[in-house]
Amino acid sequence: MTIKFLADHCFDHNIVDGIIRRDPHIDILIAEKAGFKDWSDPMVLGFAARENRLLLTHDKRTMPDHFAAFTATQESAVVLIVKWTCPIGMAIEYIRLIAGETQAEEWRNRLDIFP
């Protein structure tokens, strides 16, 4: 299955814009456009899981704990935490690589931090 993405409310829109400019066929839903800018982490995780979307975030402070609690009781799509210090171009290319070279099934119940 093709990977779909969900960029949470704190994710850098420059990264999202760069991905869309380079690969407009990549499916990225932005939190504000989905109507959940102020949702809690567990609510965002639930939405990502239901929609089978890989969650893109910069939140390495609270998201890992919420992800662990969420996956203790149910299956989830992956959470990819991109560090704020990651160069934008590097983040764009890594996410494009994920979209082009992997399948959604490979990312179940994983939390990755890049780089």
> Which pair of tokens denotes residue 72?
């203790």
110 falls within a domain: yes
Omega within 30 of 0 (cis) for the link into 115: yes
37 falls within a domain: yes
Residue 87, domain extent: 9-114
> Which pair of tokens denotes residue 19?
């991905």
2 falls within a domain: no
At 113 the pLDDT is 96
Mean pLDDT value of segment 89-106: 94
In this predicted structure, the answer to whether residue 107 has a pLDDT above a threshold of 90 is: no
At 54 the pLDDT is 95
In this predicted structure, the answer to whether residue 1 has a pLDDT above a threshold of 80 is: no
21-79 per-position pLDDT tens digit = 999 999 999 988 878 778 899 999 999 999 999 999 999 999 999 999 999 999 877 89
104 falls within a domain: yes
| Residue in the structure block whose two tokens are 């990651």 | 86
Task: Tell me the C-alpha distance between 91 and 83, whole Å.
Answer: 9
1 falls within a domain: no
93 falls within a domain: yes
> Which pair of tokens denotes residue 93?
């290319």
Per the structure, how many domains does the chain have? 1
40 falls within a domain: yes
